[in-house]
Structure 1
């Protein structure tokens, strides 16, 4: 079980269960929010194809 608490009070992805783990991935099924897959970064770099946005004030 994974439990997270957001400082702004949001309850999105606040509770979930690990569905699978490999050497490079972690899949979490969130209560009411679907499933996410987290991928281990290679060589300290972010994986290709991630959505990006401008950081405010940058």
Structure 2
């Protein structure tokens, strides 16, 4: 899928999609990450890892 197509699905700019995918955003909402994941056929999983212990949220 092209950046333009993805931006259309997310109702945002291609510049913002490129920044999201390159990790070049200082702040982003989890809802935006979830929509991005769903748009590319994935699901969002948030994981905390500390000294061998972890917690995962989907």
Q: TM-score range by the shorter chain?
A: under 0.3
Higher relative contact order (CA 8 A, sep 6+): 2
TM value normalised by structure 1:
0.22
TM value normalised by structure 2:
0.22
Q: Higher helix share goes to which structure? A: 2
Q: Higher strand share goes to which structure? A: 1
Larger Rg: 1
